Chain A
Amino acid sequence: MLKFLKAGLLATGFVAAANAAYAADAGEGEKVFRKCAACHSVGEDAKSRVGPQLNDVFGRQAGTVDKFKYSAAMVAAGEAGVVWDEQTLTQFLVKPRDFVSGTKMAFAGLRKSADVANVIEYLKTFDSDLAGTVGQEESSGEEVQTAMAEEAPPAAAQDHAPDHDGAFGLGRVATEDEIAAWDIDVRPDGLGLPVGKGTVADGEVLFTDNCAVCHGDFGEGVGRWPVLAGGQDTLTDSRPVKTIGSYWPYLSTVYDYVKRAMPFGNARSLSDDDVYAITAYLLYLNDVVDDEEFELSNENFEDIHLPNEGNFIPDDRFEEAHYAKKDEPCMTDCKPAPVTITMRAQVLDVTPDTDDDSAGGQID
């Protein structure tokens, strides 16, 4: 427990120090790791999720984290002698599927060699044997504490001098830059769209690098991650497939959501033009546009309408027959005897702690 605490402080210390580092930088690696964090975890409470946990990865035989379901290829690689170290991790992270053909890690690989070196350095801080070798010198916890204390606002209360006419005079006027930094929402009528553009072809590259790890190369969804394309004409089926093309009413929601929350684990990392390009590619995957050269921009955004826009209706639940009656409920002999059981949870027992994974359903 202590070792990870120290490792955490160490990484923070590095960002703060942010100097010399010609060589690999764990602080920079921490940022790179955000791409990995959707599937992998490190640190004190690290658990295997979509990918295995990565504490103490150095010196570990490939495919051997307890209870993680690896691909057969990864297990075989380990049995054939692949042990994770700087060299093997570097080869793997550049092009995972080239190094272990058949790995279920869908990530395409890190393009920049500096990113590879930095993320490996970062992983070392979660290695009980190597943590001490990272960087030149451990910065002490006290230093970090002191630095934070200096940044904190002065404890002494300032006189209450309102800068606006509100009833309480509390708070202060927001600056234009502050509002611009946070007010990124986009509405169906186009309010909030930034100036920018991007093509389907650009979007395909960005999507492959940033999105396909969870959503699949064609938006088909990996595992239980959201399916983004297809599903047209399935909304009245017993298992509807609700995608951007089949269900979402407005394109603005795609732009807004990708910009505010994607990629998962590295939000706000895409430029406005990147988001236009990815949105254009999603239109292409959903057959709303069919030209790879199509360019989406703030100029033509409002011309695009999604097929299901007209199929949303207001809330009319309280007009349903069972609510409309509102008289006193029946108390005796309300249904014919005997009452019989028509369905049992035991038949499809998907309650946690059972091993059956035939379960169905979703929460949103």
Chain B
Amino acid sequence: MSDKTKETLDKTAASRRRFLQAGLAGGAVLAGASAARAAGDPLITEIQDWNRYLGDGVDAAPYGTPSEFEAHVVRRDVPWLTADPVSSVNFTPLHELDGIITPNGLCFERHHGGTAIINPAEHRLMINGLVDTPLVFTMQDLMRFPRENRVYFLECAANSGMEWRGSQLNGCQFTHGMVHCVAYTGVPLKYLLEEAGVKTNGKWVLAEGADASAMTRSIPIEKALDDCLVAFKMNGEALRPEQGYPVRLVVPGWEGNMWVKWLRRLEVGDEPWAQREETSKYTDLLENGKARRHTWQMEVKSVITSPSPQAPITHGRGPTVISGLAWSGGGRIKRVDVSLDGGRNWQEARVDGPSLPKALHRFYYDFNWDGSELMLQSRAVDEDGYIQPTKNELRAARGMNSIYHNNGIQTWYVKADGVVENVEVS
């Protein structure tokens, strides 16, 4: 190779690098260059079946379903986790989703006695206990109260619970998929309680489900009268059976177990009930053998959903989108930072879309991947100023046996070939 040729090549390379840095323009030039060399992409030069033959009519799918090419976008479960699928959990495929709203059919499921199938005409909601008048409502009655529409995340307190001892599951669906975010339509719980008339010594509300586990949780009256909803729609349509059809409780920002599904009874009392799900479960065992109870609020948390182990980088170096979710039971997310080097250096990410209190926030970090190994992390800060802690900070404070409320910073290790693994770092 002559010096002159080498000089020309170097210039070309330098100029190409500049194009690459310019982002999209670089991609366009490369694609254009390779296409020009061949006769052309047959997907363009040849007429395709879908371009020639007619598709299905409007009567083919009275209730539409996703494209057949999206068949891999499904909830998945972890069979070894529980004794039986009837009292178990499956996980939202976060790595395949974008924006802040979770599609109804992909919202993770957690129930303790299977999905109850209830005809709304046969459903009743009772309010009893320390009230002036114990009442029974039909679904029709509930629909006559003034309604509100609110977007909230719901996170299981045990989300990321399998990662307390260290990285275990290779997929953001499994490590973080016990969360979803839905637009609810419902009646403020306050209206129903006021209709019955809460007595002055009424300090707690017991919510009870109509399913085979008759799920129960005690909720302090301040929360019940604040922002709780009795919801019958999710994302505009009726609740899905597995999400509590015909009616569920919405307890914004607090652990998902309290959002009692198939809601059939609200009892007002002067003390909490110490039910199974607030004593033997959903209490956080600390290293000294003491256990925290009534740990209701979900703390500030974030995770990069793509790239992640189930969503590797397949396009090689160049313009790359990091996409992720952040949320806090304390309210809005103030900002999200992203690190490419395992938490040594951070850059502020771009939050896009609505920023609603106690809802998922979508963030992006757009950068030019040079093909080197990455240790991706995200770190959220909420409107109260709480900063998402590292997993080791949580372990130092709580030990390894808390199960619940693991909101530690997640690390994804991206290798040079774009494959991603769940790791922990120094």
B84 to chain A, nearest CB (A): 6
Q: Which of B53-74 contact A (CB under 8 A)?
A: none
B384 to chain A, nearest CB (A): 8
Q: For A350, what are the chain B residues with a Cβ–Cβ distance below 8 Å?
A: 78, 80, 168-169
**Interface of A (DSSP majority class):** loop
Q: Which of B382-403 contact A (CB under 8 A)?
A: 385-387, 389-390, 393-394, 396-398, 400-401, 403
Q: Does A170 contact B (CB under 8 A)?
A: yes
Instruction: A165 to B158: give the CA distance in the assembly, Å.
Output: 42
The reply to whether A264 and B113 contact each other, CB–CB distance below 8 Å, is yes
Total residues of chain A contacting the partner, CB 8 A:
93
Chain A, Cβ-Cβ closest to B124: A178
Q: Which of B74-113 contact A (CB under 8 A)?
A: 76-87, 89, 110, 112-113
The reply to whether B126 and A174 contact each other, CB–CB distance below 8 Å, is yes
Q: For B293, what are the chain A residues with a Cβ–Cβ distance below 8 Å?
A: 312-315
Q: For A289, what are the chain B residues with a Cβ–Cβ distance below 8 Å?
A: none
The reply to whether B191 and A168 contact each other, CB–CB distance below 8 Å, is yes
Q: Which of A170, A261, A329 contacts B214 (CB 8 A)?
A: A261
B326 to chain A, nearest CB (A): 14
Q: Does B265 contact A (CB under 8 A)?
A: yes
Chain A, Cβ-Cβ closest to B404: A364
The reply to whether B295 and A322 contact each other, CB–CB distance below 8 Å, is no
The reply to whether B274 and A249 contact each other, CB–CB distance below 8 Å, is yes
Q: Does B234 contact A (CB under 8 A)?
A: no
Chain B, Cβ-Cβ closest to A341: B423
Binary per-residue interface labels of chain A (237-249) against chain B in the complex, 1 for a CB within 8 Å, 0 otherwise: 0101010100111
Instruction: A345 to B204: give the CA distance in the assembly, Å.
Output: 42
Q: Does A3 contact B (CB under 8 A)?
A: no
The reply to whether B121 and A342 contact each other, CB–CB distance below 8 Å, is no
The reply to whether B121 and A152 contact each other, CB–CB distance below 8 Å, is yes
* A164-B133, A168-B145, A185-B267 known; A179-B423 Cβ under 8 A: no
* A320-B397, A343-B166 known; A361-B81 Cβ under 8 A: yes
Q: For A242, what are the chain B residues with a Cβ–Cβ distance below 8 Å?
A: 280, 285
The reply to whether B275 and A256 contact each other, CB–CB distance below 8 Å, is yes
* A179-B128, A339-B425, A342-B425 known; A352-B344 Cβ under 8 A: no
Q: Does A59 contact B (CB under 8 A)?
A: no
Q: For A171, what are the chain B residues with a Cβ–Cβ distance below 8 Å?
A: 127, 135-138, 141, 195
Binary per-residue interface labels of chain B (119-155) against chain A in the complex, 1 for a CB within 8 Å, 0 otherwise: 0010000111100111111100100110000000000
The reply to whether B274 and A172 contact each other, CB–CB distance below 8 Å, is no
The reply to whether A187 and B135 contact each other, CB–CB distance below 8 Å, is no
Instruction: A360 to B214: give the CA distance in the assembly, Å.
Output: 28
Q: For A344, what are the chain B residues with a Cβ–Cβ distance below 8 Å?
A: 167, 413, 421-423
Q: Which of B227-281 contact A (CB under 8 A)?
A: 257, 264-265, 267, 269, 271, 273-277, 279-281
Instruction: A256 to B165: give the CA distance in the assembly, Å.
Output: 33
* A252-B274, A345-B421 known; A364-B343 Cβ under 8 A: no
Q: Which of B156, B167, B264, B341 contacts A343 (CB 8 A)?
A: B167
Binary per-residue interface labels of chain A (304-318) against chain B in the complex, 1 for a CB within 8 Å, 0 otherwise: 000000011111111
Q: Which of A170, A223, A238, A342 contacts B144 (CB 8 A)?
A: A170
Q: For A71, what are the chain B residues with a Cβ–Cβ distance below 8 Å?
A: none
Q: For A312, what are the chain B residues with a Cβ–Cβ distance below 8 Å?
A: 279, 283, 290-293
Instruction: A253 to B216: give the CA distance in the assembly, Å.
Output: 11
Q: Does A22 contact B (CB under 8 A)?
A: no
25 contacts between A and B (CB under 8 A): A178-B126, A179-B134, A182-B208, A189-B271, A224-B83, A240-B285, A249-B279, A250-B274, A256-B276, A257-B275, A261-B213, A312-B291, A315-B295, A317-B292, A320-B397, A331-B345, A334-B343, A335-B426, A337-B344, A342-B425, A345-B422, A351-B174, A364-B157, A364-B158, A364-B282
In the complex, the 3 A-B pairs of residues with the closest C-beta atoms, listed nearest first: A339-B342, A166-B195, A345-B422
Chain B residues packing against A (C-beta within 8 Å):
76-87, 89, 110, 112-113, 121, 126-129, 132-138, 141, 144-145, 156-158, 161-162, 164-171, 174, 178, 191, 194-197, 206, 208, 212-214, 216, 257, 264-265, 267, 269, 271, 273-277, 279-283, 285, 287-297, 299, 309, 337, 341-347, 375, 379, 381, 385-387, 389-390, 393-394, 396-398, 400-401, 403-405, 413, 421-426
Given contacts A165-B197, A182-B208, A187-B274, 17 further A-B contacts (CB under 8 A): A50-B83, A166-B135, A170-B195, A182-B128, A185-B216, A189-B271, A225-B84, A238-B400, A247-B280, A247-B285, A311-B291, A314-B292, A317-B299, A321-B393, A326-B386, A334-B343, A359-B81
